[in-house]
Structure 1
Amino acid sequence: MQNLQHELIELLKTQENLVIDNQLNKNKIIELGLKVEPQLIGLLIKSPTFKKHFFTEVENILVFDKIKFQRFVNNKSFLPDSYTAFKNKIGLTINDDSTGNFIKTKNDVVLAWPHKDCILEGGQTKEDQKRNEIFWNETLAPDSVDRLLDAKAFTNFKKYDKDGEHKVTEIKGDENLILKGNNLLVLSSLLKTHRGKIKLIYIDPPFNTENDSFRYNDTFNHSTWLTFILNRLEIAKELLTDDGLIFIHLDQIEEAYMKIVCDEVFERENYVNTITVKSSTPSGTKTAHKDKTIIKQKDFILVYRKTNKARFNPQYKRKSNWDTHFNYFLNRDKGTVSSFLEILKENKILSQKESIRDFNINNKTHRKFYLDNMELICQTQSHKNEDLKFKSKNLKNQVLFVNKDEENEAMFYNGRQLTPLSKSVHEVIYNGSIIKDFGMLLCDFWDDIDFQNTQNEGSVSFTNGKKPEELLYRIIKMATNEGDIVLDFFVGSGTTPCVSHKMNRKYIGIEQMDYIQDLPYNRLVKVIEGEQGGLSKSLKWQGGGSFIYAELIEYNQKYIAKIQEAKTKEDVLSVWKEMEEKAFLNFKFNKDIFNERLDTFKTAALEIMKQYLVEILDKNQLYVNFSEIEDESFTVSKEDKALNYLFYKKNN
């Protein structure tokens, strides 16, 4: 048996794709075997030994026994120095002894998933697949989670307003906030300050597409992605006001799964609708595989309310064609009406040969005419008031005015109500601007927003995933009023807080990526300084306002950052030396046994070594808990202590 194993090891070592850091990757070997990968099969079948051992002849055809191969490679004696063997010797133990009672054998271990401090970006697309983003799954026992979700302490406070950047000296409790750190932990901290205060939550989480590196090592699949989101949604619900709303932006990969999760968190009766947004146009490389698939052209936005107290501000989209029902023109002085078509011809808007169907809503001259005369251009509609119907019929082609010149004026003509075009003129989004125009009620299909030219919107470059200011404007307008608080905990490039700022809403943006300084922070700086990109001109934005920036005080999280940055095994071991002295390690981990068997640890692949060091950190101490800022071991400055007390007191 051992000779057979040794011979297989030597054979497999000849394949570069199966070797990581000079060690065979057992998981990869098994994966390729189960897939009956041609290169591996060809290698085995050329060997008389393995041809006999792993293949069976059936009617002169050799059939590969992949189950037998899997069992052979999975044997504990195969690759004894592999990471699998190492973890069987050293791991998170239930007791402080070395009896081998490892946590992975404990029956009550579950995928609790309270912690996801991974490097992820929102709005990922196929073009992002070359990014080296790292995500590490982690299985935690429930008794390993005690203070993970306690309110955390913040540091690096700074305020930006029209006079520039300043130190924060006071916190009133109504500030706009940009907060850096793991969004699960920041959200849980906000429960202490903003529970029941958020009117709108908009999130654009990572899309979990098959083509991006969000599914690093195939570990971030549907179930884990949904659990990642679930923990955050459960807290988000508690932050909403009773009449609050949440909009979740997704594509088709996770939309159906997400709805099931949201039905559970927010309850099915609080599902409002799913908005379909046209997000791309089929052209260029997007159509390369049109013979193999149906080209994606849309995104989805799931909308849920916290309770049935939620109300919307109706929104409208610009009509694309003239509504021919508007065929009357009112003469208010005489109380009569004329044919709108004749008026158009008299004013030479249309020629004598043209009909009302030639009246073009996109013609500048035509458009100016109907907007200038929108109080006089009318249509007729039925009305339930029989008395008014009767009176207007008896007037014989005269207009009956009810409450004339008052705001609730009504007009009747020949037994029908006369309604002016002004009642159908609304604020709409058109060609990247907000204008007043002939509109129709916006429902659950939005095809009038440009997703194609947002790369430099807000004077910052964010090639993929940036959402148009028009989209956020519409959502914020639909779900909030001035002064309401808007939250985005996947803030990305900062579109949500920037549009909220211009619309005089309060906001909180959360992001854990380091680009928070280059994107949302600097973008907001430019907004305060009066930048004229996006919707600034339409909103007549001239600058002003302020926001406060702060970030969670890291403790164990700083070791995770160092582990992620490690390029070699030597770097990893150096981080371990520092962790051994200063980090909070999982209470089930025995570092004495670990150090005794450090040589075995070194045989693991670099990425697995890094993953293991992350696993042994106590996740309850990733960041400094607010309740522990007086503990001298955390060396929190007097200034930070004072600001944290203000933050939690003033916002409470």
Structure 2
Amino acid sequence: MANNNTPLDQLKGFLNQLFQFDSQDLDFGVYKILHYKRKEIANFIDQLLVDKVKEQLQTLSADESKQIKEQIADLEKDDIIKGWLEAEADEKKTLEKFGKDKINQYAALKAKATEATVSVETENQIYNHLTLFFSRYYDKGDFISKRRFGKNEKYMVPYNGEETHFHWANHDQYYIKSSETFNHYAFKVQTLDGNLVVNFKLHNAQLEQGNVKADEPNFFLLADKAPEIKEKDDSELNFVLANKQPDVSEKEITIYFEYRPLADDEKKKVKGNSKQDNLDEIAFEYLKKELSTNPLFANLWKEQEGKPLLLKKLQHYTRKNKHDFFIHKNLKSFLERELDYYIKSELVNVDDLYVTDSDTHFDRLKHNLKTIKVFKSIADTIIAFVSQIEDFQKKLWEKKKFVLNTEWVITIDRLVEYIGEEAAKPILEEVIKNEKQVAEWKELFGEYSKFESSNDFFDSEKIHLNKLPIDTIHFDKGFKNSLLNAISKKNDLENVLDGLLIKSDNFQALSSVRPKFEESISATYIDPPYNTGDDGFIYKDAFKSSTWVTMFQPLLESNKDLLNDFGALFISCDEHEELALGQLLNKTFGENNRTEKITWNKRIPKNDKGIGNIHEYIYLYCKSKEHRKANDLSFVMRKDSLEEVYEIVKKAKSSGKSIREAQSILKKYYKKQGFDRGITLYCELDENYEIWGKINMSWPNAKTQGPRYEVINPVTKKPAPVPNKGWRWKEDTFKAAEKNGSEFILPDGSMMKGRIWYANNENTQPSSITYLREVESFLLRSIISQKSDGGITLENLVLQDKVDYPKPVKLIEFLLYSTGVTNGYFLDYFAGSGTTFHAIQNLNNQDNGNRKCILIEQGNYIYTVVIPRIKKIAHSLEWNVGSPVKPVGGGNGIFFKYQRLEQYEEALENIAFKASEDTLQKALEFDQYIPKYFLEFETKGSQTLVNTAAMQDPWDYKLKVWDGFTYDTEQAVDLVETFNYLIGLHMQKCITKEINGKKYQFVYGHNNANKSILVVWRSVKDWSLEEYKADAAALKEAFKAFAYDLLYINDQAHIEGYQPIEEVFRNKMLS
């Protein structure tokens, strides 16, 4: 069927598609903003662009053109004009003398008519080029360089002449998709009995190879797995919104989908361009047929805004996950650059440069240049408009995010250690009265959480109770403040903190923590999605690898800035993105800082078809390899199984075994394991049960002789035998070794004298003493073998949720140990099941290190897996099928905090519009204001962009947040912790007190420049002048307890030298 639309109609249709006016179902994200200005934008498309083209081409309107044609027709009826038109050349000259005015009028009208015809054609040509140019880049909410086929290249690649250059299609964009609503989408429906929760969940599906072609688009299809109906579990939601109470009666249905290309037989069933809409309707009809007889689902079939509710939600789910993958970092620059290239390659004809003397040649050239000028002018206007929208999205994406809530977890033993037994008793009395806290203990620790009273926590026979964790999520703000007050009295909060967990998109979290942790991280380990197609990573169709690289690039840039000069980065990957990742790492860190691509032998194949794949890769890069080398800091690895060796001796000692018995146990273990001499040589124990070995003291060179001198055996009091080739050491070195330590008689009667061992007989030569810990490490190897048993570890912990493909704890221990760093911060921003935190705790337990861990994870299993896992291993390091392995309560204890950050979608939801009443704005409405400025001016004062007027009560600054179903819930955010991140504050003390009947919070700490900082928060809402005066006196008294270089106070204060928080807050959040 022929397309009868004019070029203008086609352009309007494309622009309506670009601004998504053709789909009211796209009511999320930036589309809400576009729909807010729908009337003005539609007027811009329908009227302004056309007027501009006509104005610049000086095109006649349709009425003017019709009028000219009528005038020409009237003149052609005139006898003079009729005769002139029919006359020969000589006769024309005669007639022109008598009818000059009429003939000139006719000629002028004909010229205008001809020019009008040319202008209309030119106008249509411009509309065609505008549609063609912008359609090259726009695709479902994104501006990208879509693949085009042709004889000549269609795009320019920015390139500065490097020997090699790594480029990908989306190199100048941010990846903004979240896998959360991709893997799990939910909404609530009211029923007669309460609420029904409807879940859409992805179910992995594998199609036979060859059944689909490469790079085919993916679609959402109903899975073969039947829908499941059950009672709703609200435990996860309670973590998301701390004070959210579960509904009285709630059931849920889970409907499973697959996301994959269509198989050949499925393609025959789904026709047309809107295949996903077609599939949504097929799914809806199937579900209605299967479920409509159950009254529980009656409201799913009721219409909402012209569609059945279930179909509307289904289309919302699929469209949201098929649109808006990227935000351009500089869309205006990108489109302007591409526009210049388009003009040069598509509109400028090189042959026109060969000038002839023909007037028509110059006329044509002039006409073409005018056409190009008008085309560029209109294109620039559209570019300004779409860039305004894109830049606004970028502003929301890049801005620092609010901390929505902060919770603290501390085990009882740590609490007692930090504040003392007497101070801890009243707190523990309050804790054991909290039913939610006690119920959580029972769920996590079963019989090992039983107690009669708070006195049991101090009973040495019930030491396992000391490791029960107190989580402030179960308590009110007053309890939290009292807890921090108590710990702050004698401790530096961050110094005693073991770690930090952040629930957030990793880009947002890294951006927010950067001012605080810049150049502070000792090492990073991450296990990102491998982009296999079934690992939960959502990519734009036909841009699979490019999407993945785009996601990663800004994360690596941030990671590099966070590492200290000794810092190292470990990244797990497999063959899917190995090459692209290596190129990206070289581009970010520099090829000179590439240290190794480690091959991890997992020992167990990951598939059962074809060749058994038993390896993955781990890239290792340094912040500065040269800096590590200059400080003689190598990457090392421990001899295999040393953890087990140390643990055997540790258990023997703790169970009261003698040194002789412990040595016997150790030697039997060596024999059973079949270790080589590199370990079995070290089979002796000193008085502290430290493992050591005897090293031969003979001169090692067969061709020369070593020094000879007399050595008296302190056991026999007689000279010891001298080796045939002499001693290994000089005499003074030998004597120094004897003095390097104490004397100790071993169970067999021999003696350790410093670093020399003497037998209890006259015939045995002395040996030097070397401890196993001194030789346990050697240079890191490029191939490591470690069993892939991360899933077994999680199964033994018995956690609420399941996480796919968890890494083994031993592997992460191995990698982090290799850095040679035993304190400082370690980062993982693809935290998954929390294996990195687990590994850090194990390492600290093994070598008494003081490593701290920062985890970032966007999945809700941070609440159902990661936090419970940390609580369990803090109690006991080893677990078996949900029960702690002896020694029960043998964990390290824990003190950490976890936070949830505002997300990009929440920032969009908190945009509030206020139309300007400015008359100048009205005058510029269609020429400048709408295309360029309306978003900037009309969104000022939105909460997410910092509404300083709303900060008078810092504990009541609210945002609309995602509650798992909608953005309808308003929640007070944590301005205090948000500001700490903005100014890079390491919080040493947080003290909340009441002064003059009003709440004050004093936050004290330092920044990375080692400046001491005091931040004061108080609610000043509706304060009088007298209250401000009383406030000044109170603050001056309170400041006597602090020594500070910088002072911040919210709102105004009658205090010298302070900085108002509000402007600093706004500037740093939006910078």
- Whether these two folds match at TM > 0.5 is yes
Whether contact under 8 Å (2:756, 2:769) holds in the other structure is no
CA separation in 2, counterparts of 1:223 and 1:418?
66
**Aligned partner of residue 406 in structure 2, secondary structure:** strand
Which residue does 2:785 correspond to in 1?
Answer: 447
Report matched runs for 1:452-467 at 5 Å.
Answer: 453-456=792-795, 458-460=797-799, 462-467=802-807
Which residue does 2:405 correspond to in 1?
Answer: 156
1:314 is aligned to 2:636: yes
Deviation at 1:515, TM superposition (A): 1.7
CA separation in 2, counterparts of 1:232 and 1:305?
16
Report matched runs for 1:154-233 at 5 Å.
Answer: 154-163=403-412, 164-166=470-472, 167=477, 168-169=480-481, 172-174=493-495, 175=497, 176-212=499-535, 214-216=537-539, 218-219=541-542, 221-233=544-556
Deviation at 1:297, TM superposition (A): 0.9
Which residue does 2:899 correspond to in 1?
Answer: 550
Whether contact under 8 Å (1:161, 1:528) holds in the other structure is no
CA separation in 1, counterparts of 2:773 and 2:767?
15
1:282 is aligned to 2:622: no
Q: Of 173, 182, 186, which aligns to 1:113?
A: 173
Deviation at 1:400, TM superposition (A): 4.9
Deviation at 1:640, TM superposition (A): 1.9
**Aligned partner of residue 627 in structure 2, secondary structure:** coil
Map Cα deviations across residues 424-457 of structure 1 (whole Å, 9 max, x no partner): x459xxxxxxxxx988654121113443633425
Deviation at 1:386, TM superposition (A): 6.5
Report matched runs for 1:553-632 at 5 Å.
Answer: 553-554=902-903, 556-557=905-906, 631=950
Structure 1 runs not aligned, ≥5 long = 7-74, 321-348, 351-358, 412-416, 428-436, 561-577, 583-591, 594-615
**Aligned partner of residue 214 in structure 1, secondary structure:** coil
**Aligned partner of residue 405 in structure 2, secondary structure:** strand
CA separation in 1, counterparts of 2:504 and 2:518?
19
Question: 1:480 and 1:190, CA in 2 relative to 1: closer, same or farther beyond 3 A?
Answer: farther
Which residue does 2:921 correspond to in 1?
Answer: none
Whether contact under 8 Å (1:318, 1:440) holds in the other structure is no
Question: 1:630 and 1:490, CA in 2 relative to 1: closer, same or farther beyond 3 A?
Answer: farther
Q: Of 829, 841, 865, which aligns to 1:519?
A: 865
CA separation in 1, counterparts of 2:889 and 2:637?
20
Deviation at 1:222, TM superposition (A): 1.2
Map Cα deviations across residues 90-124 of structure 1 (whole Å, 9 max, x no partner): 579999522568994699966432242321699xx
Whether contact under 8 Å (2:567, 2:622) holds in the other structure is yes
Question: 1:146 and 1:645, CA in 2 relative to 1: closer, same or farther beyond 3 A?
Answer: closer
Question: 1:480 and 1:372, CA in 2 relative to 1: closer, same or farther beyond 3 A?
Answer: closer
CA separation in 2, counterparts of 1:543 and 1:474?
19
Whether contact under 8 Å (2:508, 2:903) holds in the other structure is no
Question: 1:491 and 1:384, CA in 2 relative to 1: closer, same or farther beyond 3 A?
Answer: farther
AA in 2 matched with 1:301: I
Which residue does 2:457 correspond to in 1?
Answer: none
Question: 1:536 and 1:202, CA in 2 relative to 1: closer, same or farther beyond 3 A?
Answer: farther
Deviation at 1:226, TM superposition (A): 0.8
**Aligned partner of residue 466 in structure 1, secondary structure:** coil
Which residue does 2:419 correspond to in 1?
Answer: none
1:509 is aligned to 2:855: yes
Deviation at 1:470, TM superposition (A): 0.8
CA separation in 2, counterparts of 1:628 and 1:418?
78
CA separation in 2, counterparts of 1:539 and 1:313?
34
Which residue does 2:325 correspond to in 1?
Answer: 137
AA in 2 matched with 1:375: G
Whether contact under 8 Å (1:379, 1:421) holds in the other structure is no
CA separation in 2, counterparts of 1:384 and 1:397?
8
Structure 2 runs not aligned, ≥5 long = 22-30, 50-129, 145-169, 184-202, 207-222, 224-256, 260-320, 333-390, 413-469, 643-666, 685-691, 711-720, 741-753, 758-764, 845-849, 915-924, 927-934, 960-970, 987-1006, 1008-1071
Which residue does 2:421 correspond to in 1?
Answer: none
1:469 is aligned to 2:809: yes
In terms of fraction of residues, the more helix-rich structure is 2
Q: Which structure would you say has the larger RCO, counting Cα contacts within 8 Å and 6 or more residues apart?
A: 1
How many residues of Structure 1 are paired with residues of Structure 2 in the alignment?
Answer: 473
Deviates more, 1:498-507 or 1:238-247: 498-507
Whether contact under 8 Å (1:179, 1:551) holds in the other structure is yes
Deviation at 1:540, TM superposition (A): 9.2
**Aligned partner of residue 517 in structure 1, secondary structure:** helix
Which residue does 1:396 correspond to in 2?
Answer: 724
Pairwise CA RMSD: 5.4
Question: 1:195 and 1:386, CA in 2 relative to 1: closer, same or farther beyond 3 A?
Answer: farther
Which residue does 1:570 correspond to in 2?
Answer: none
AA in 1 matched with 2:565: D
Whether contact under 8 Å (1:250, 1:300) holds in the other structure is yes
Deviation at 1:204, TM superposition (A): 0.6
Q: Of 637, 640, 645, which aligns to 2:979?
A: 645
Which residue does 1:300 correspond to in 2?
Answer: 617
CA separation in 1, counterparts of 2:856 and 2:870?
14
The share of aligned pairs that are identical, in percent, is: 19
Report matched runs for 1:243-258 at 5 Å.
Answer: 243-258=566-581
Deviation at 1:138, TM superposition (A): 2.4
Question: 1:418 and 1:316, CA in 2 relative to 1: closer, same or farther beyond 3 A?
Answer: farther
Map Cα deviations across residues 160-183 of structure 1 (whole Å, 9 max, x no partner): 111411255359445421111111
**Aligned partner of residue 509 in structure 1, secondary structure:** strand
Whether contact under 8 Å (2:840, 2:852) holds in the other structure is yes
1:87 is aligned to 2:24: no
AA in 2 matched with 1:266: F
CA separation in 2, counterparts of 1:104 and 1:381?
82
CA separation in 2, counterparts of 1:258 and 1:275?
14
Whether contact under 8 Å (1:270, 1:305) holds in the other structure is yes
CA separation in 2, counterparts of 1:467 and 1:492?
9
Deviation at 1:643, TM superposition (A): 3.5
Whether contact under 8 Å (2:697, 2:727) holds in the other structure is no
Whether contact under 8 Å (1:242, 1:306) holds in the other structure is yes
Question: 1:368 and 1:242, CA in 2 relative to 1: closer, same or farther beyond 3 A?
Answer: closer
1:405 is aligned to 2:751: no
Map Cα deviations across residues 517-549 of structure 1 (whole Å, 9 max, x no partner): 112122122233335339997999524221111
Map Cα deviations across residues 318-356 of structure 1 (whole Å, 9 max, x no partner): 399xxxxxxxxxxxxxxxxxxxxxxxxxxxx99xxxxxx
Map Cα deviations across residues 253-281 of structure 1 (whole Å, 9 max, x no partner): 11121111111111111111111111241
Map Cα deviations across residues 5-59 of structure 1 (whole Å, 9 max, x no partner): 99xxxxxxxxxxxxxxxxxxxxxxxxxxxxxxxxxxxxxxxxxxxxxxxxxxxxx
CA separation in 2, counterparts of 1:88 and 1:499?
49
Whether contact under 8 Å (1:498, 1:524) holds in the other structure is yes
AA in 2 matched with 1:544: G
TM-score (norm 2): 0.38
TM-score (norm 1): 0.59
CA separation in 1, counterparts of 2:19 and 2:591?
47
CA separation in 1, counterparts of 2:835 and 2:795?
12
Question: 1:278 and 1:634, CA in 2 relative to 1: closer, same or farther beyond 3 A?
Answer: same
CA separation in 1, counterparts of 2:726 and 2:577?
59
AA in 1 matched with 2:612: I
